[in-house]
Amino acid sequence: MPTVCDYQRKDSPFIWLKWSDTITGKIRYENTKVSPTDKDAAKKIRRRKHAIAGTLIDAQEATGGEAWHLWVPQWLNTRYKNRKASHVKYMGQWKFLTSFLAENEIPSPRLFTRQHVFDYLEWRQTQVKEKSKRSPRLNTALADIRTLGMILREAKRNHFCEEDVTAKLGVVRDDPEEKPELSDDQINLIRAGLKIEPEWMRTSFEIALQSGMRFEETKIHRKNVDYAKGDIFLPSPKGGRKKAFIHTASDDLIAYLKKLFSDGRAVTWTLPKGIFPGLIWRAFFDRIGLEQPISFHCTRVTYISRGERAGMPEAIMCKQVNHADTLIHRIYSRVPNEERRRFANAVPLPVAA
Protein backbone atom coordinates (compact mmCIF):
# COMPACT_ATOMS: atom_id res chain seq x y z
CA MET A 1 0.00 0.00 0.00
CA PRO A 2 1.38 3.41 -0.88
CA THR A 3 2.06 6.07 1.72
CA VAL A 4 0.14 9.18 0.69
CA CYS A 5 1.47 12.57 1.80
CA ASP A 6 -0.38 15.87 1.65
CA TYR A 7 1.35 19.18 1.05
CA GLN A 8 0.82 22.65 -0.40
CA ARG A 9 2.49 24.23 -3.41
CA LYS A 10 3.52 27.85 -3.48
CA ASP A 11 1.68 28.39 -6.75
CA SER A 12 -1.57 26.67 -5.73
CA PRO A 13 -4.27 27.50 -3.16
CA PHE A 14 -5.23 23.83 -2.88
CA ILE A 15 -3.93 20.84 -0.98
CA TRP A 16 -1.94 18.35 -3.09
CA LEU A 17 -1.27 14.65 -2.54
CA LYS A 18 1.88 12.74 -3.40
CA TRP A 19 2.54 8.99 -3.41
CA SER A 20 4.49 6.23 -5.17
CA ASP A 21 2.43 4.11 -7.56
CA THR A 22 2.55 0.49 -6.32
CA ILE A 23 2.46 -0.89 -9.89
CA THR A 24 4.77 1.40 -11.87
CA GLY A 25 6.90 2.82 -9.06
CA LYS A 26 6.39 6.32 -10.45
CA ILE A 27 5.71 9.28 -8.17
CA ARG A 28 2.13 10.44 -8.60
CA TYR A 29 0.56 13.79 -7.75
CA GLU A 30 -3.04 14.87 -7.33
CA ASN A 31 -4.68 18.26 -6.89
CA THR A 32 -7.50 17.62 -4.41
CA LYS A 33 -9.17 20.95 -5.23
CA VAL A 34 -9.64 21.27 -1.47
CA SER A 35 -8.47 24.51 0.15
CA PRO A 36 -7.00 24.44 3.68
CA THR A 37 -9.69 26.96 4.65
CA ASP A 38 -12.56 24.77 3.41
CA LYS A 39 -15.03 23.40 5.91
CA ASP A 40 -14.12 19.80 6.81
CA ALA A 41 -10.90 20.06 4.76
CA ALA A 42 -9.08 17.65 7.06
CA LYS A 43 -11.84 15.06 6.77
CA LYS A 44 -11.95 15.32 2.97
CA ILE A 45 -8.20 14.93 2.65
CA ARG A 46 -8.18 12.02 5.07
CA ARG A 47 -10.85 10.20 3.09
CA ARG A 48 -9.04 10.78 -0.20
CA LYS A 49 -5.72 9.56 1.21
CA HIS A 50 -7.36 6.38 2.42
CA ALA A 51 -9.05 5.87 -0.95
CA ILE A 52 -5.72 6.12 -2.79
CA ALA A 53 -3.96 3.83 -0.32
CA GLY A 54 -6.78 1.29 -0.49
CA THR A 55 -7.27 1.28 3.26
CA LEU A 56 -10.43 1.98 5.17
CA ILE A 57 -11.05 4.86 7.52
CA ASP A 58 -12.99 2.87 10.07
CA ALA A 59 -12.19 -0.82 10.17
CA GLN A 60 -13.38 -1.73 13.64
CA GLU A 61 -15.90 -4.17 12.15
CA ALA A 62 -13.13 -6.00 10.30
CA THR A 63 -11.67 -8.41 12.83
CA GLY A 64 -9.29 -11.34 12.68
CA GLY A 65 -7.39 -9.96 9.69
CA GLU A 66 -10.50 -9.68 7.52
CA ALA A 67 -9.86 -6.12 6.32
CA TRP A 68 -9.19 -6.13 2.57
CA HIS A 69 -5.81 -4.39 2.77
CA LEU A 70 -4.48 -6.90 5.31
CA TRP A 71 -4.56 -9.86 2.93
CA VAL A 72 -5.67 -9.18 -0.67
CA PRO A 73 -2.48 -7.49 -2.00
CA GLN A 74 -0.29 -10.19 -0.43
CA TRP A 75 -2.51 -12.93 -1.85
CA LEU A 76 -2.41 -11.46 -5.36
CA ASN A 77 1.35 -10.93 -5.15
CA THR A 78 1.95 -14.52 -4.07
CA ARG A 79 -0.51 -16.13 -6.47
CA TYR A 80 0.73 -14.29 -9.55
CA LYS A 81 4.40 -13.96 -8.64
CA ASN A 82 5.50 -15.82 -11.76
CA ARG A 83 2.79 -14.46 -14.07
CA LYS A 84 3.79 -10.85 -14.60
CA ALA A 85 1.07 -9.88 -17.08
CA SER A 86 -1.68 -11.34 -14.88
CA HIS A 87 -0.23 -9.68 -11.80
CA VAL A 88 -0.22 -6.25 -13.46
CA LYS A 89 -3.78 -6.78 -14.69
CA TYR A 90 -5.22 -7.83 -11.32
CA MET A 91 -3.36 -5.19 -9.34
CA GLY A 92 -4.63 -2.56 -11.76
CA GLN A 93 -8.20 -3.73 -11.22
CA TRP A 94 -7.66 -3.93 -7.47
CA LYS A 95 -6.60 -0.28 -7.47
CA PHE A 96 -10.06 0.77 -8.66
CA LEU A 97 -11.86 -1.73 -6.44
CA THR A 98 -10.09 -0.44 -3.33
CA SER A 99 -10.98 3.15 -4.21
CA PHE A 100 -14.65 2.17 -4.36
CA LEU A 101 -14.44 0.15 -1.13
CA ALA A 102 -12.76 3.01 0.69
CA GLU A 103 -15.14 5.68 -0.60
CA ASN A 104 -18.11 3.57 0.51
CA GLU A 105 -16.51 2.52 3.81
CA ILE A 106 -16.70 -1.23 3.22
CA PRO A 107 -13.79 -2.48 5.37
CA SER A 108 -14.11 -6.23 4.81
CA PRO A 109 -15.65 -8.89 2.51
CA ARG A 110 -18.25 -9.70 5.15
CA LEU A 111 -19.82 -6.24 4.72
CA PHE A 112 -19.82 -6.29 0.91
CA THR A 113 -23.37 -6.86 -0.38
CA ARG A 114 -24.89 -7.74 -3.72
CA GLN A 115 -26.19 -4.17 -4.08
CA HIS A 116 -22.61 -2.98 -3.80
CA VAL A 117 -21.84 -4.97 -6.96
CA PHE A 118 -24.40 -3.02 -8.98
CA ASP A 119 -23.28 0.22 -7.35
CA TYR A 120 -19.74 -0.54 -8.50
CA LEU A 121 -20.83 -1.16 -12.10
CA GLU A 122 -22.32 2.33 -12.22
CA TRP A 123 -19.45 3.95 -10.31
CA ARG A 124 -16.73 2.42 -12.51
CA GLN A 125 -18.30 3.77 -15.69
CA THR A 126 -18.18 7.32 -14.29
CA GLN A 127 -14.40 7.23 -13.79
CA VAL A 128 -12.20 9.00 -16.34
CA LYS A 129 -9.06 7.33 -17.67
CA GLU A 130 -5.95 9.37 -16.97
CA LYS A 131 -4.38 9.00 -20.41
CA SER A 132 -7.27 8.85 -22.89
CA LYS A 133 -9.73 10.94 -20.83
CA ARG A 134 -12.39 8.38 -21.76
CA SER A 135 -14.73 6.59 -19.35
CA PRO A 136 -14.61 2.79 -19.08
CA ARG A 137 -17.50 0.83 -20.54
CA LEU A 138 -19.66 -1.86 -18.96
CA ASN A 139 -17.37 -4.72 -20.04
CA THR A 140 -14.45 -3.16 -18.15
CA ALA A 141 -16.55 -2.86 -15.00
CA LEU A 142 -17.72 -6.46 -15.35
CA ALA A 143 -14.11 -7.61 -15.72
CA ASP A 144 -13.33 -5.91 -12.40
CA ILE A 145 -16.28 -7.68 -10.80
CA ARG A 146 -15.05 -11.06 -12.07
CA THR A 147 -11.76 -10.36 -10.31
CA LEU A 148 -13.60 -9.31 -7.17
CA GLY A 149 -15.55 -12.59 -7.35
CA MET A 150 -12.26 -14.48 -7.37
CA ILE A 151 -11.19 -12.49 -4.29
CA LEU A 152 -14.49 -13.14 -2.51
CA ARG A 153 -14.20 -16.87 -3.12
CA GLU A 154 -10.79 -16.78 -1.45
CA ALA A 155 -12.33 -14.75 1.37
CA LYS A 156 -15.00 -17.41 1.79
CA ARG A 157 -12.31 -20.10 2.07
CA ASN A 158 -10.73 -17.99 4.82
CA HIS A 159 -14.14 -17.59 6.54
CA PHE A 160 -14.09 -13.82 5.92
CA CYS A 161 -17.53 -13.92 4.27
CA GLU A 162 -20.40 -16.31 3.68
CA GLU A 163 -20.70 -16.22 -0.12
CA ASP A 164 -19.53 -14.74 -3.40
CA VAL A 165 -22.22 -12.11 -3.98
CA THR A 166 -20.97 -11.41 -7.53
CA ALA A 167 -22.24 -14.76 -8.85
CA LYS A 168 -25.03 -14.93 -11.45
CA LEU A 169 -25.63 -11.20 -11.83
CA GLY A 170 -27.62 -11.59 -15.02
CA VAL A 171 -25.90 -8.53 -16.52
CA VAL A 172 -25.30 -8.99 -20.25
CA ARG A 173 -21.98 -7.77 -21.62
CA ASP A 174 -21.90 -5.20 -24.38
CA ASP A 175 -20.95 -6.64 -27.75
CA PRO A 176 -17.26 -5.81 -28.19
CA GLU A 177 -16.13 -3.88 -31.22
CA GLU A 178 -14.97 -6.26 -33.93
CA LYS A 179 -11.26 -5.94 -34.62
CA PRO A 180 -10.75 -5.38 -38.36
CA GLU A 181 -8.14 -6.85 -40.67
CA LEU A 182 -5.39 -4.37 -41.50
CA SER A 183 -5.18 -3.28 -45.13
CA ASP A 184 -1.87 -2.93 -46.99
CA ASP A 185 -2.17 0.86 -46.76
CA GLN A 186 -2.73 0.70 -43.00
CA ILE A 187 0.24 -1.66 -42.55
CA ASN A 188 2.47 0.72 -44.51
CA LEU A 189 1.17 3.67 -42.48
CA ILE A 190 1.95 1.86 -39.21
CA ARG A 191 5.44 0.87 -40.37
CA ALA A 192 6.17 4.45 -41.38
CA GLY A 193 4.95 5.76 -38.03
CA LEU A 194 6.99 3.21 -36.10
CA LYS A 195 10.27 4.44 -37.58
CA ILE A 196 10.46 7.12 -34.90
CA GLU A 197 9.07 4.96 -32.08
CA PRO A 198 10.99 2.73 -29.59
CA GLU A 199 12.48 -0.47 -31.00
CA TRP A 200 10.24 -2.73 -28.92
CA MET A 201 7.23 -1.36 -30.79
CA ARG A 202 8.71 -1.94 -34.26
CA THR A 203 9.91 -5.42 -33.35
CA SER A 204 6.72 -6.64 -31.68
CA PHE A 205 4.58 -5.34 -34.55
CA GLU A 206 6.63 -7.08 -37.26
CA ILE A 207 6.70 -10.39 -35.44
CA ALA A 208 2.97 -10.25 -34.68
CA LEU A 209 2.10 -9.35 -38.27
CA GLN A 210 4.12 -12.26 -39.64
CA SER A 211 2.95 -14.83 -37.09
CA GLY A 212 -0.37 -13.81 -35.51
CA MET A 213 1.26 -13.93 -32.08
CA ARG A 214 -0.18 -11.94 -29.21
CA PHE A 215 1.93 -9.03 -27.96
CA GLU A 216 3.57 -10.88 -25.04
CA GLU A 217 4.30 -13.88 -27.28
CA THR A 218 6.42 -11.71 -29.61
CA LYS A 219 8.98 -11.46 -26.80
CA ILE A 220 10.92 -14.44 -28.15
CA HIS A 221 14.07 -15.84 -26.56
CA ARG A 222 16.91 -16.66 -28.95
CA LYS A 223 17.29 -20.14 -27.41
CA ASN A 224 13.72 -20.95 -28.46
CA VAL A 225 14.29 -20.37 -32.19
CA ASP A 226 15.30 -23.41 -34.30
CA TYR A 227 16.67 -21.89 -37.51
CA ALA A 228 17.19 -25.28 -39.18
CA LYS A 229 13.57 -26.36 -38.75
CA GLY A 230 12.12 -22.85 -38.87
CA ASP A 231 10.33 -23.39 -35.55
CA ILE A 232 9.70 -20.94 -32.72
CA PHE A 233 8.91 -22.44 -29.30
CA LEU A 234 6.52 -20.39 -27.15
CA PRO A 235 6.88 -21.80 -23.59
CA SER A 236 4.52 -19.43 -21.77
CA PRO A 237 1.75 -18.10 -24.03
CA LYS A 238 -1.68 -16.96 -22.91
CA GLY A 239 -2.90 -19.62 -20.49
CA GLY A 240 0.55 -20.41 -19.07
CA ARG A 241 3.00 -23.25 -19.60
CA LYS A 242 0.31 -25.85 -20.14
CA LYS A 243 -0.55 -24.01 -23.37
CA ALA A 244 3.03 -24.05 -24.72
CA PHE A 245 3.21 -24.48 -28.50
CA ILE A 246 5.46 -24.29 -31.55
CA HIS A 247 4.90 -21.77 -34.33
CA THR A 248 6.24 -22.83 -37.71
CA ALA A 249 7.66 -19.56 -38.96
CA SER A 250 7.82 -18.26 -42.51
CA ASP A 251 11.20 -17.85 -44.19
CA ASP A 252 10.77 -14.07 -43.92
CA LEU A 253 10.20 -14.24 -40.18
CA ILE A 254 13.18 -16.54 -39.64
CA ALA A 255 15.36 -14.15 -41.64
CA TYR A 256 14.03 -11.23 -39.59
CA LEU A 257 14.86 -13.00 -36.31
CA LYS A 258 18.34 -13.95 -37.53
CA LYS A 259 19.08 -10.31 -38.27
CA LEU A 260 17.57 -9.24 -34.92
CA PHE A 261 19.64 -11.70 -32.89
CA SER A 262 22.85 -10.98 -34.81
CA ASP A 263 23.72 -8.27 -32.26
CA GLY A 264 23.95 -10.87 -29.49
CA ARG A 265 20.71 -10.07 -27.68
CA ALA A 266 19.00 -12.91 -25.82
CA VAL A 267 15.42 -11.76 -26.38
CA THR A 268 13.67 -9.92 -29.22
CA TRP A 269 12.69 -6.93 -27.08
CA THR A 270 12.46 -5.65 -23.53
CA LEU A 271 10.24 -3.00 -22.00
CA PRO A 272 11.48 -0.09 -19.89
CA LYS A 273 10.24 -0.28 -16.30
CA GLY A 274 6.80 1.22 -15.70
CA ILE A 275 5.65 0.95 -19.32
CA PHE A 276 2.06 -0.03 -20.09
CA PRO A 277 2.12 -1.26 -23.71
CA GLY A 278 -1.64 -1.08 -24.23
CA LEU A 279 -1.74 2.62 -23.41
CA ILE A 280 1.26 3.36 -25.61
CA TRP A 281 -0.13 1.45 -28.59
CA ARG A 282 -3.49 3.20 -28.23
CA ALA A 283 -1.81 6.61 -28.19
CA PHE A 284 0.31 5.65 -31.22
CA PHE A 285 -2.65 4.51 -33.33
CA ASP A 286 -4.58 7.65 -32.43
CA ARG A 287 -1.58 9.77 -33.33
CA ILE A 288 -1.29 8.34 -36.86
CA GLY A 289 -5.03 8.59 -37.46
CA LEU A 290 -6.04 4.96 -36.83
CA GLU A 291 -8.64 5.26 -34.11
CA GLN A 292 -10.73 2.55 -32.46
CA PRO A 293 -11.29 -0.29 -33.22
CA ILE A 294 -7.78 -0.51 -34.71
CA SER A 295 -5.42 -2.00 -32.12
CA PHE A 296 -2.31 -4.16 -31.88
CA HIS A 297 -4.53 -7.25 -31.79
CA CYS A 298 -5.55 -6.51 -35.40
CA THR A 299 -2.25 -8.11 -36.42
CA ARG A 300 -3.64 -11.45 -35.25
CA VAL A 301 -6.88 -10.93 -37.19
CA THR A 302 -4.84 -9.98 -40.26
CA TYR A 303 -2.59 -13.05 -40.13
CA ILE A 304 -5.52 -15.45 -39.66
CA SER A 305 -7.71 -13.86 -42.37
CA ARG A 306 -4.92 -13.69 -44.95
CA GLY A 307 -3.92 -17.25 -44.14
CA GLU A 308 -7.46 -18.42 -44.84
CA ARG A 309 -7.45 -16.59 -48.17
CA ALA A 310 -4.18 -18.29 -49.05
CA GLY A 311 -5.82 -21.66 -48.49
CA MET A 312 -4.21 -22.62 -45.18
CA PRO A 313 -6.34 -25.40 -43.60
CA GLU A 314 -8.14 -24.34 -40.44
CA ALA A 315 -6.54 -27.14 -38.39
CA ILE A 316 -3.06 -25.92 -39.39
CA MET A 317 -3.85 -22.30 -38.64
CA CYS A 318 -5.22 -23.24 -35.20
CA LYS A 319 -1.85 -24.79 -34.39
CA GLN A 320 0.01 -21.77 -35.77
CA VAL A 321 -1.79 -19.30 -33.47
CA ASN A 322 -2.47 -21.75 -30.59
CA HIS A 323 -6.26 -21.82 -30.85
CA ALA A 324 -7.56 -25.01 -29.24
CA ASP A 325 -11.20 -24.19 -30.02
CA THR A 326 -12.20 -23.80 -33.68
CA LEU A 327 -15.27 -21.79 -32.66
CA ILE A 328 -13.03 -19.16 -31.07
CA HIS A 329 -10.71 -19.37 -34.06
CA ARG A 330 -13.48 -18.56 -36.53
CA ILE A 331 -14.24 -15.31 -34.72
CA TYR A 332 -10.93 -13.99 -36.05
CA SER A 333 -11.63 -14.60 -39.72
CA ARG A 334 -12.56 -11.53 -41.76
CA VAL A 335 -12.92 -13.37 -45.07
CA PRO A 336 -16.29 -12.18 -46.41
CA ASN A 337 -18.94 -14.66 -47.51
CA GLU A 338 -18.55 -13.74 -51.19
CA GLU A 339 -14.94 -14.95 -51.05
CA ARG A 340 -16.19 -18.30 -49.78
CA ARG A 341 -18.74 -18.50 -52.57
CA ARG A 342 -16.25 -20.10 -54.95
CA PHE A 343 -16.07 -23.12 -52.64
CA ALA A 344 -19.84 -23.49 -52.23
CA ASN A 345 -20.09 -26.11 -55.00
CA ALA A 346 -16.77 -27.80 -54.27
CA VAL A 347 -18.22 -30.72 -52.28
CA PRO A 348 -19.22 -33.59 -54.64
CA LEU A 349 -22.60 -35.14 -53.77
CA PRO A 350 -25.10 -37.21 -55.76
CA VAL A 351 -27.91 -35.14 -57.26
CA ALA A 352 -31.25 -35.56 -55.51
CA ALA A 353 -33.92 -37.35 -57.54
275 and 316, same structural domain?
Answer: yes
The CATH number of the domain holding residue 277 is 1.10.443.10
Q: Is the pLDDT confidence value at 109 over 70? A: yes
344 within a domain of the structure (yes/no): no
Strands (E), 25-93: 27-31
248, with CB counted inside 10 A (0-12, 13-18, 19+), is: middle
pLDDT score of 342: 57
The letter for the amino acid at 259 is K
174 within a domain of the structure (yes/no): no
Q: Is the pLDDT confidence value at 57 over 60? A: no
167 within a domain of the structure (yes/no): no
198 and 327, same structural domain?
Answer: yes
The letter for the amino acid at 69 is H
Q: Is the pLDDT confidence value at 262 over 60? A: yes
DSSP assignment of 138-194: HHHHHHHHHHHHHHHHHHHHTTS-S--TTTT--PPPPPPPPPPPPPHHHHHHHHHHH
pLDDT score of 344: 54
pLDDT score of 255: 93
Region 182-187: what's the mean pLDDT?
A: 94
222 and 149, same structural domain?
Answer: no
129 and 264, same structural domain?
Answer: no
153 and 205, same structural domain?
Answer: no
329 within a domain of the structure (yes/no): yes
Q: Which residues 6+ apart lie within 8 Å of 200 measured at CB?
A: 269, 270, 271
How many domains, in total, are found in the chain? 2
Q: 197-224 pLDDT, tens per residue? A: 999 999 999 999 999 999 999 999 999 9
202 and 150, same structural domain?
Answer: no
128 and 264, same structural domain?
Answer: no
In angstroms, the CA 182 to CA 305 distance is: 10
**Partner residues linked to 15 by β-bridges:** 8
pLDDT score of 295: 93
Higher-confidence residue of 165 and 84: namely: 165
253 within a domain of the structure (yes/no): yes
Residue 300 lies in domain? 184-335
**Spatial CA neighbour of 155 closest among 108, 105, 119, 116:** 108
At 243, is the pLDDT very low, low, confident or very high (cuts 50, 70, 90)? confident
153 and 188, same structural domain?
Answer: no
CA distances from 120 to 21, 22, 127, 153, 192 (A): 23, 22, 11, 18, 42
